[in-house]
Amino acid sequence: MLPPPETLYPVTLPDGSSYAGTVFLANALRHPNIHVGDYTYFSTFEPAQDPADYAARLAPYLFEGAKDCIRIGTFCQIAHGTRIITTGANHAMTGFSTYPFPIFEADRIGAYSESFPKGRDVVIGHDCWLSDSCTILPGAQLGNGVIVGAGAVVGGVVPDYTVVVGNPARVLRLRFDPATITKLNALAWWHWPREVLTQHEALIVGRDVQALLDVGKSIRP
């Protein structure tokens, strides 16, 4: 059965122990600028001693109280080495040099970071797969069901249910035809109750959209 959403380590090994290399991020992070939906997990070959450290691994330039945020939907799968770059990594670019002289003086560093305009939040939709060592750039907007190829560098707006690869990332293909994508977005299975998700797992990972729609109709109030 699908683990409860409040689980920290959702993978149980054959010997009954919990695997520390995979965490449900919503229960690991304590960063006020990162918002993650239920069941979204991060997997790594180098588990953190403190799960809260995953915030720094995923978004090393996102500081508490920054002007921008990261918003990640439910049921996303985030692989080892993924990094999300935010506007906190900025340097001033209006003059001859981009060297950040003010960061070496305590009374100037705050004003320096505040001088940058607010960037667009990074938004990652539901059921996205971010493959090994990919990079998500400031302000990127990923739709639902997006697959990001290993090592891809992704910026801008990525449509729902597309596969993107490369640096800079380009759309390789649509995963489904537009009519099916519209149906999947309207269905929003990622908001179904846990017991319904468990019962209909085969349909969720299958290819029969009509059968999935029929389940959706049966659970509507």
DSSP 80-130: TT-EE--GGG----SSS----GGGGSHHHHHHHHHTSPPPPPEEE-TT-EE
Radius of gyration of the chain (CA): 19
Residues with catalytic annotation? 91
Which tokens belong to 217? Answer: 């109709």
Helix, strand, or coil here: 186? helix
DSSP 51-87: GGGHHHHH-TT--TT-S--EEE-SS-EE-TT-EE--G
CA-based nearest residue to 41, from 58, 59, 20, 24: 24
Element (H, E) at 157: strand 157-158
CA-based nearest residue to 71, from 136, 20, 6, 8: 136
